[in-house]
Amino acid sequence: MQVTITARHFDVSDSLRRLVEERFSRLEKFEERIGRVEVTLLEEKNHFEVEGDLSIDGRGTVHAHAEAADFRSAVDRVVDKLARQLKRSRARYQDHTVDKERLETSEEPLG
């Protein structure tokens, strides 16, 4: 998974970069096909904004946005929102094939 961090109106410190990479790497347990992550950090006068875009191979993109009083909280909120979306997406794409062995043992003759 490739993480790209873009900052507006400030320079990203190494500790903030590590925090973002560590938090977003947790999303791999929900979807193994995440190819690219784009994180945009925005610092305003009294609040911080974080946007996250995930590119999932074969399924498209997932987007989330959050604001908070500090970057740590905003990053956590975005990761939580993305995790919820990935869980919901995974539930939609579950394997719905029928297990033939189970089907054969549970069939009763019609009579």
Indicate the pairing of strand 2-8 with strand 60-68.
unpaired
Could you please report the per-residue DSSP string of 38-102? EEEEEE-SS-EEEEEEEEETTTEEEEEEEEESSHHHHHHHHHHHHHHHHHHHHHHT------HHH
Domain segments of the chain: what residues? 2-93
What would the pLDDT profile of 52-106 be if each residue is shown by its tens digit?
999 988 778 999 999 999 999 999 999 999 999 988 877 766 656 666 666 566 5
Res. 35 pLDDT band, cuts 50 70 90: confident
What Å distances lie between residue 76 and 64, 84, 85, CA to CA?
A: 11, 12, 14
Mean pLDDT for all residues in the chain: 86
Q: Which fold has domain 2-93?
A: Double Stranded RNA Binding Domain (3.30.160)
